[in-house]
Structure 1
């Protein structure tokens, strides 16, 4: 007796889908209970359309006689297994009930596994917005008009151009806001931007008739993220509509970023400008750097999947990459999971490999962030959970697969793996020379900054160029000093006249001592005032060049006390002060060769040798041009302990290394750049192990 086909579940829906890449028709099976969609091809559709015939033979014969397809019983058996695996068949027998019960028991999670899964990811629905979305969607139809898109694009372009003209201010605002208050502002701006992002998805889905089941918060490793359930968009047959829903959030966020950038460029400084800065930066960065990435299941992934018309893109690319590794690394006779055109086949393999590397970096970053979010003991535990679940677990699963099939791996591949491991370990134990990098600034070994010692009016000044020892560079006149000196001279002369008239007085000799003391006092004051005025004659302390003369100086201009007027340098010897990270400074010794690459001068490389290495970290920067807040290469923090006058201190531990340059630079002026030092050669494997062990010992000390 011919077996009958198992019955299908009655609530399943069959929906048309976009055609496959080869032009063949496709459909979607919608499971309303789980709200899942399964894509099927033409042959599957024809078999399901004749499922009511009951007999596999009848179904196959009907398809062969009524269509150009030529299926056999194996095709029908494969479809039956697919339907059974995804619980799309109606359970009508006792054996089916037992099988379903056993499957549910196998899928039952232990309390630890449940806690682990819900710690890593879970959703918290907050609203079912379908009703109010349906009411407001018609009123916002103007947002989807071409004129609106053109207007927003033009305004955003104008904002970018205006922000580009204020780029230094924009960049400085970003660095200055890396504080507790700034981080709170970024968090609030992120919340607003993501709310608009999800609203864009929901509104566009409603516009195309897709039901938005719920909106809420998804916690990814305890980090809250808003989400919108638009999973029913797969029932749309038009791929352009699915693409519009997937990209709506990014487009809404980009529009917000562009308009916020324009507003930031126009409004004056104040709380409103700071709020607009937060909105602009968070929207630009998150949209372009996070949401646009196709390597995680964000908008970029769904956009790419729609453009390629390839559902389950990550899974399919990953299966192809695993097969490629097993075939080309292990030498296994691994069948390809699916047949694709050669270009698409190779592209998906490369995409999967890049995705794995990208996720490795992201997961390690998440693990480090989780570690710092909690107290040390819990942080270490959660760090190990992150690394174990996202990195070690999939790697070990693949290794178990290779181990189970080790008999099928060719001997030559096993021998090659041992040789490669030996070469890798040997390469890790051999000391390899390498250059150490750091930021630095070039200046003359002997240089003197000319300051105005007192406030006064500039009488005359020298021009930039060659100067001689003792040459007057700036002459400053202080009317207050001149007046004080004249007053003291007048009092001295008055006391001299009084002393001369004492000879004929009866008590003259008695008053002489008192008047002589006053005379000496006034004479000393006049001499002190003249000496102080002489200090306003600013002369060159040595023969050299006068540089960096303040452009605002001219005869008759008033200068402030301690105002820097210019710099005198000796151009015969030049020094580079480099700032090297703490992890590399112990590899540097006096006499090591070094190179200095001035910023903006690709062919102006200077060579030199290390002459001194500081034994303590640098607590301040010697020149403002090195500070990131002024456009320099070193991030800094305010020096809170010594007050605002002390400037800023480097964010990380840096040590100063002095390098004597062999030749004078062509452009003899102070400049910043990058330093490369040929440090001590070391094997990377022991160094890496020592650092890992040091970090482990340090972090376990709680």
Structure 2
């Protein structure tokens, strides 16, 4: 027992004869081999959970026994597990607030009216508390889903579920078979004006189908759905249903099935869409089916299945772990840890915790806070980039919700919590000290700072073999794919006009030599003129011969010779400067990294150690140094391996893709060429790598300020 056995207020309620209302339904649950009882108010849908001791007390509330008789009976039968009088009073308070308790005394009509108004106010506050998630109840879907479920025999539901799961499996196989076609140029096919309009029209319809999946599952398993409406997530209308009655089902597998029913329904719809998509030749229908696959497939797996958000994944995880009210219990347990170990009070741990529950509760509490913060900030940045006023309002709300409100609650907790009685000054001092240490750490302690970008293994310019002049391919003098030495002839070209000029120059030289022989008997002035002309013609002949010699292209260094389309080389017209072959030497490979504008100054002036990890082998670390920087920013990508379509992180401009232009990034990027310095060298060209530029350590406050300032400059030009 956590308090004294007797209560000073017991005399006020000892003679009450309590009983439960008829709309109160009790269901037995088992959590981690512990027995619990769930009570549901059938009128309001509100749910309460009780342990076996509380259930023994509830079972004695028959309207005949007084509360004092009930407590004494519990003390005799439960022994050390009997509740105290204060715990009985707390139980009565819960039942009274849930509106499931009746007594032999006349009800206070004023208090009932006040309670009803307070309940309406609480529900309204829940609907309006989060401007990013507003709820608008519309109707009761129970009659509709009831009419549907009555058409299906109860024994047929398992077969329907099995067939539906088989459909999802077939859809997954089809997606795997057509993965490249489905994901090719996805930005141009999804994020254009027409396709965004299709997305906006399809999204509410798909989510309505998702929510009806929940409603049908609840009804098929014997429950009821009392409310359906619209939830405005970042001002986007999304249907929702109230499936809270599922918590009364005794089997956790049934509850998990209801939680997954929406995702199962939506993934099945995605499977049907991808099957139809494979059979449609093109046009608007194919585009709509592609958007259905993206929405019903990707968004379901990325958002609904995430257990850190209060969506389907959260309730499935809660039932799988057998920890009901996972979020609230996690917050309460973290609060207990603060009281017990931070403020050193004699706080009692939450009751009925098993050995593994604390680890799950702490992990969920920390993970959900971090994830919600990241999601909220990301949404604000996204909205603010398009609508500045809304962005500012959301930023103010986020600052209040993420910083001000928790701080106010913490101060109120330290100032008023009864558990800190006698330790309040110590708790305040510890809190201030921790706040000061945290602020000092953020403001003054240097921590590691780095920039993470992506790059592609690149070939140096001297390894690219280009023709020195406009010519025609003649012969390949080295075997493609074989090693060559520096200076070894690779291929030769012909230029008929150059050959004609060379023959003409040879003839002119011979002519001038003959004239010089005749002029030796003539005047000295004439002989000097002939000699000058002969020297000019010989120099012209040497220049033409050198140009003719350049048409035999030689290897600039040792390596492996590779030529494009060797079978088509002979007779092919080659413009001056065209790249036709390579001499590949892994020791000469470089790396071309692309850096966003917000981090380019750090890479330019504060780049220290550079580490490179291949996307195919993250465990192998390569060393490199910056050798060259392209002076200006460019939106052109050096390789598609850096784009989202190639597995990278850079989004492409859909307008450039739609117009058939070269791939261009959505934002200008700076290119840096790096040379490998370590003993390990890359083997393959064109591979995508992760590049980490280490900078001199800086305090977190400075890093956050720099990032925030860059975001403001980028989004708002301020």
| Superposition TM-score tier, normalisation by shorter sequence | 0.7 to 0.9
d(CA) in 2 for partners of 1:476, 1:158: 59
Q: Does 1:37 align with 2:47?
A: yes
Q: Does 1:549 align with 2:563?
A: yes
Q: What does residue 648 of structure 1 align with?
A: 663
Q: Secondary structure at the match of 2:459?
A: strand
Q: What does residue 285 of structure 1 align with?
A: 298
Question: Offset of 1:227 from its aligned partner?
Answer: 1.0
CA contact 2:467–2:553 (8 Å) conserved in 1 = no
Q: What does residue 14 of structure 1 align with?
A: 25
Q: Does 1:582 align with 2:597?
A: yes
Q: What does residue 3 of structure 2 align with?
A: none
Q: Deviations over 1:133-174 (max 9, x none)?
A: 333324455995555555554554454345435444333243
Q: Secondary structure at the match of 1:296?
A: coil
Question: Offset of 1:615 from its aligned partner?
Answer: 4.3
Q: What does residue 117 of structure 1 align with?
A: 129
Indicate how the Cα distance of structure 1 residues 56 and 635 shifts in structure 2: closer, same or farther if over 3 A, else same. Answer: closer
d(CA) in 1 for partners of 2:283, 2:549: 44
Q: Does 1:471 align with 2:489?
A: yes
- For residues 112-151 of structure 1, the aligned pairs below 5 Å read 116-117=128-129, 119-140=131-152, 148-151=160-163
Question: Offset of 1:241 from its aligned partner?
Answer: 3.3
Q: What does residue 70 of structure 2 align with?
A: 59
Question: Offset of 1:63 from its aligned partner?
Answer: 5.4
Q: Does 1:448 align with 2:436?
A: no
Question: Offset of 1:179 from its aligned partner?
Answer: 1.9
Q: Deviations over 1:443-482 (max 9, x none)?
A: 22423354799998987675234266583536699xxx99
Question: Offset of 1:320 from its aligned partner?
Answer: 1.4
Q: Secondary structure at the match of 2:632?
A: coil
Q: What TM-score results when the alignment is normalised by the length of structure 1?
A: 0.76
Question: Offset of 1:250 from its aligned partner?
Answer: 1.9
Q: What does residue 404 of structure 2 align with?
A: 392
d(CA) in 1 for partners of 2:140, 2:397: 34
Q: Does 1:83 align with 2:95?
A: yes
CA contact 1:31–1:37 (8 Å) conserved in 2 = no
Q: What does residue 525 of structure 1 align with?
A: none
d(CA) in 1 for partners of 2:129, 2:395: 15
Can you give the 5+ residue segments of structure 1 that lack an aligned partner in the other structure? Answer: 487-529
Q: Deviations over 1:580-620 (max 9, x none)?
A: 22232222348955344444355765434323334432232
Mean Cα deviation higher: 295-304 or 634-643: 634-643
Q: What does residue 383 of structure 1 align with?
A: 395
Can you give the 5+ residue segments of structure 2 that lack an aligned partner in the other structure? Answer: 1-10, 501-543
Question: Offset of 1:699 from its aligned partner?
Answer: 7.3
Q: Secondary structure at the match of 2:582?
A: strand
Question: Offset of 1:384 from its aligned partner?
Answer: 0.9
Indicate how the Cα distance of structure 1 residues 668 and 394 shifts in structure 2: closer, same or farther if over 3 A, else same. Answer: closer
d(CA) in 2 for partners of 1:455, 1:643: 33
Q: Secondary structure at the match of 2:306?
A: coil
Q: Secondary structure at the match of 1:205?
A: helix
Indicate how the Cα distance of structure 1 residues 105 and 94 shifts in structure 2: closer, same or farther if over 3 A, else same. Answer: farther
Q: Does 1:213 align with 2:226?
A: yes
CA contact 1:459–1:555 (8 Å) conserved in 2 = no
Indicate how the Cα distance of structure 1 residues 615 and 8 shifts in structure 2: closer, same or farther if over 3 A, else same. Answer: farther
Q: Secondary structure at the match of 2:635?
A: coil
Q: What does residue 616 of structure 1 align with?
A: 632
Q: Secondary structure at the match of 1:5?
A: coil
Q: Does 1:193 align with 2:195?
A: no
d(CA) in 2 for partners of 1:271, 1:453: 49
| Match for residue 238 of structure 2 among 225, 232, 239 | 225
d(CA) in 2 for partners of 1:668, 1:44: 70
d(CA) in 1 for partners of 2:125, 2:168: 47
- For residues 20-31 of structure 1, the aligned pairs below 5 Å read 22=33, 24=35, 26-31=37-42
CA contact 1:442–1:670 (8 Å) conserved in 2 = yes
Q: Deviations over 1:601-642 (max 9, x none)?
A: 557654343233344322322344444444555433257599
CA contact 2:202–2:292 (8 Å) conserved in 1 = yes
- For residues 204-283 of structure 1, the aligned pairs below 5 Å read 204-261=217-274, 264=277, 268=281, 271-283=284-296
Q: Secondary structure at the match of 1:123?
A: strand
Root-mean-square deviation (CA), in Å? Answer: 4.7
CA contact 2:41–2:100 (8 Å) conserved in 1 = no
| Match for residue 301 of structure 1 among 314, 323, 326 | 314
Q: Secondary structure at the match of 2:603?
A: coil
Question: Offset of 1:358 from its aligned partner?
Answer: 2.2
Q: Secondary structure at the match of 1:53?
A: coil
d(CA) in 2 for partners of 1:166, 1:419: 55
Question: Offset of 1:359 from its aligned partner?
Answer: 2.1
Mean Cα deviation higher: 632-641 or 252-261: 632-641
